[in-house]
Structure 1
Amino acid sequence: MSQQFEPANEKMYIRLVKQGDAAAFHAIYQHYSPRVYGKLLRVLKSEDLAADMLQDLFSIIWQKRAEIDPEKSFGAFLFKISDNLVVDLFRKAKRNQQLIEKLAKAGAEEWESTEEWLFKKENETWLARAIESLPPQRRLVFQLCKLENRSHDEVSQLLHISRATVNNHLVKATQNLKALATGKSGMAGLLLIWLFR
Structure 2
Amino acid sequence: MTLLSEYTDAQLFAGVKCGDHAAFTELYERYWNVLFIHAFKIIKSEEKAMDVVQDIFTGLWEEASISTIHVSLKAFLYTSVRNKSLDAIRRQEVASRYLDSFVRHMAIGYPDTEETVSFNELVSLIDAGVADLPKQMQRIFRMSCTEGQSHSQIADELNITVHTVKKTITRARHFLKTWFIQFLLLFSLLHLLS
Name the TM-score class by shorter chain.
0.3 to 0.5
- TM-score by length of structure 1 reads 0.44
- TM-score by length of structure 2 reads 0.45
Q: Flag the structure with larger Rg.
A: 2
